[in-house]
Structure 1
Amino acid sequence: MAVEAMAVVATANAAIATAAVAAGKEEKERKKKRLRLLRKQLQLEEKKERKKCRGGRRGRGYGGGSCS
């Protein structure tokens, strides 16, 4: 009887550990996704900034862009 109880406890502990590992993986995936989105957003902002400056750097027009 005691051996069966210990086996049940061991099984429960294994299930808890497995669930914790799965939750850890999900959290890691969410973090990666968030970082990917932030990186993409930053790239878009940098692209817009470069586009604004294009006039001066590329020699277009007669005064240049809004960048120094």
Structure 2
Amino acid sequence: MLLGTASTASATGPGFYLRSHHASLAECQAVGNAGADNALWSRVFICNPFAGKPGVYELWVRY
């Protein structure tokens, strides 16, 4: 499983799609794992800090 952080959306690379926003890194990772466990997306996902608002994380997933 790939979990990482980056400062911009471009760091996610091709094939990643923005799925949701979360109030903490732990919440973002929990939602990412839950979606992967339920086969909503692959095990490869990234939680990035949202540059426009400190303390908010974006969940980027691969399908």
**TM-score of the alignment, normalized to the shorter chain, above 0.5:** no
Structure 1 length normalisation: TM-score?
Answer: 0.24
Instruction: Compare the two structures and name the one with the higher strand fraction.
Output: 2
Larger relative contact order, structure 1 or 2 (CA cutoff 8 Å, min sep 6): 2
Q: Which has the larger Rg?
A: 1
| Between structures 1 and 2, the one with greater helix share | 1
